[in-house]
Amino acid sequence: MFSVLISIAALVAGGIWTAVARAGKTNAVTITQAEPGPVLLVPGYGGSVTGLQALAARLRAAGKQVSIMSLPGNGTGDLREQAKALRSAARSVLSTSGASSLDVVGYSAGGVVARLWLSDYGGASVARRIITLGTPNHGTQLADLGGVIAGACPLACQQLAPNSSLLLALNRERPAAAPSLVSIWTTQDDVVLPPDSARLDGALDLTVQGICASSQVQHGGLPTEPLVAGMVLAELAAGAPVALTPADCARLSS
C-alpha cells in the first residue's frame, strides 16, 4: 500500500511539474500592458542594421529608448542561435535601463527570431509587446527557390522555407497570454511570398494598405517608411494594441 501511495504521489507531482513547465513555456508571468518599456529592434535575414536606423531615429524622436541588436555571425545561421542572442541582448537592455519589461520589434526574419525567443528562450517573462514587421511567419517561397541552387540557401534560409520543421513547430505553439502580439505587413511585399505569410494567429493583424490604400511600400522599405514608423509607434503606446483604420492614414503618415 505504501509503495502504491508513493507511485500515486509521484504521478501527481509529475503532472503538477509538467503543467508548470507548460505554463512557463507559454507565459506564466503577468506583465502590465500599461507601462511601455525600452524598445529592442531585431534585424532581418543577413543581419543588416542600416535600414533599422531610420526606424530607431523615429522612435527616439518620440521619446523611446531604443537599441538595435547585432545578430551572431552574418545573420544567416541557425535562427535558434539568433534567439539565444536576443535573450542576451534583452537582458542587457533591461539591466541597463532598470526596466522590468521591454518591447521588441522584429523586422523580416527578426520577427521569427523574436517569436522563438518568446517561445523557448525566456522572452515570455520579460516582453510586454512583440511587433513582427514584414515577417514570413509561415515561410517565404523565395527560400524554396534558394534551395534549388547548391549553397545559395544557408541554414536560416532553409528554416524560413514554407513548412520547415522550425516554422511548423513554432506555429503549433499556443499564443502566449502576454506579451501582446502585432503583425504589420504590406500586401506589396516582394520578399515574403505570399505576403499574407505574415499573418500570425493570436496577433493584431495590420496591413499598411489597410491604413493607407495607396501605399506601394515593399519589403525593403518597411523600416524606412514614415507611415510604417507611425504604425509601430501607435502599437508601442501604453495600453493594449490599437486596431488602426483608414481614418488614421494622414496622422500616421506625417
In a domain, 142, yes or no: yes
pLDDT tens-digit map of 8-52:
333 333 333 333 333 344 444 578 899 999 999 999 999 999 989
pLDDT tens-digit map of 221-245:
999 999 999 999 999 999 999 999 9
83, 116 Cβ separation under 8 angstroms: yes
Q: Which residue reads 503577468 in cell numbers?
A: 30
| Cα separation, 230 vs 254, whole angstroms | 8
Angle at 183 between CA 181 and CA 185, to 5 degrees: 170
| Cα separation, 54 vs 174, whole angstroms | 33
Structurally, how many domains does the chain consist of?
1
Q: Tell me which residue range forms the domain holding 44.
A: 35-253
C-alpha dihedral, 7 to 12 to 13 to 16, nearest 10°: 160
pLDDT tens-digit map of 60-116:
999 999 999 999 988 999 999 999 999 999 999 999 999 999 999 999 999 999 999
Report the CATH number that the domain containing residue 239 is assigned in CATH. 3.40.50.1820
3-class secondary structure, 170? helix
Beta carbons within 10 angstroms of residue 178's beta carbon: 22
In a domain, 14, yes or no: no
Bridge-based pairing of strands 66-68 and 127-133 is unpaired
In a domain, 25, yes or no: no
DSSP 107: E
In a domain, 6, yes or no: no
pLDDT tens-digit map of 13-24:
333 333 333 334
210, 180, 227: which is closest to 33 by C-alpha? 180
In a domain, 207, yes or no: yes
| Cα separation, 151 vs 90, whole angstroms | 32
In a domain, 137, yes or no: yes
pLDDT tens-digit map of 174-200:
766 567 999 999 999 999 999 999 999
